[in-house]
Amino acid sequence: MGFIPSRRHSRGWGHWLSELLSVLVGMTAKQLGYGAGRFSLPSWLLNYWKVIISDFVVWWTKGWREIMKRLNFKYILFGLAFIGIVITFPLIMDRWIIGNTVYSNIDNSVWVSFFGSYIGAILGGIFTFIGVKITLYNSVEKEKQRDMLVLQLKLTYNDIYRFANSNPENKYPIQQFLVDKGWPDRLATIHSNINRKDFQNIYMWFAALEFLKTHQDENGLVKASIIKASFGDILSDVSELIERLEKSSI
C-alpha cells in the first residue's frame, strides 16, 4: 500500500500546478509506453505531488510577503515607475516620434539611434550613481559593525586577561560582560575585510564568552582556571587583533 498524505489542501495554485504536472507526466508516460496517460499513475504519487507543490507555493508566498515588508515603499514605487517607463517609452516613441507626420531632415532610423544613445547615457548615469551610493552605504555599514566588535573586545579583554592569569582557584563574576547577541552578524558583515586567523580569533572569543555563561555557580561566579581554558591561546593574540582592526580600512 502506497503512502497517501492525509493533509487537506485548498484548490489554490498548488492544486492546479500539481494537476498540470500530473497531466504532463502522464502524457509523457503514455508516449513512452508506460501506461494510458495520467490515470495510470498511482494515486499516492499524484497526492504526493500536490503536497510538495502546495507547500512550495505557501513557502514562496510567505517569503515574498516577508521581502515586501522589509522593502521601503518608496523604493518599490521607484522600481514600478522605472519598469513602467521602460515599457511605455518605446510605444510613445513609435506613436509620437516615428509615426508622426512632422517633417524632419533625418530619417527615423537616425532618430531611433539618437534616442537610444541618449536614454542609454541617462540610464547609465543613474545606475552608476546608485552603484556608488550602495558602495558607500556598505562601506559605512561595515565600519559601524567593525567598531561595535572592537568596542566589545576592548570592554572584555582586560578583565578576561586579568582573570585568566590569576590564581586558578579564584572565582570571578561574568555577568558584567554584556555581549551583544548580534555579534555573529557583525562578524559576517566584515569577514571579507579581515584575514582568516583574525576571523577565527574573534569567533572563538565571543563563543568563549557565551560558554562561560553555562559554567557559573549558584552565585554567578566562574573559576579562573575555567576562564583560562576557555580562551586558551587567543588571549595573547587579541590585543594585537584589536590594534589591527582599529587601523584597518573597510
CB distance 161 to 214 below 8 Å: no
Question: Given this model, what pLDDT does residue 167 score?
Answer: 92
Question: Among 3-12, 74-83, 144-153, 216-225, which is the least confidently predicted range?
Answer: 3-12
Cβ-Cβ contacts under 8 Å for 40 (sequence gap 6 or more): 26, 29, 30, 34
For the chain, what percent of residues have pLDDT higher than 90?
Answer: 5
Average pLDDT, stretch 36-65? 58
pLDDT in tens, 198-247: 888 899 899 888 888 888 888 889 999 999 998 988 888 888 888 888 88
Question: Given this model, what pLDDT does residue 47 score?
Answer: 60
Average pLDDT, stretch 81-96? 77
Which sequence spans correspond to the domains of the chain?
13-70, 142-247
In the predicted model, what is the mean pLDDT of the chain?
75
Please provide the DSSP assignment of 103-155 as one string: --SS-HHHHHHHHHHHHHHHHHHHHHHHHHHHHHHHHHHHHHHHHHHHHHHHH
Q: Does the structure show a pLDDT above 70 at 27?
A: no
Q: Does the structure show a pLDDT above 80 at 104?
A: no
Of 66, 231, 79, which is closest to residue 156 (Cα–Cα)? 231
| Residue whose C-alpha cell is 567598531 | 147
Question: Among 42-51, 113-122, 130-139, which is the least confidently predicted range?
Answer: 42-51
Q: Does the structure show a pLDDT above 70 at 20?
A: no
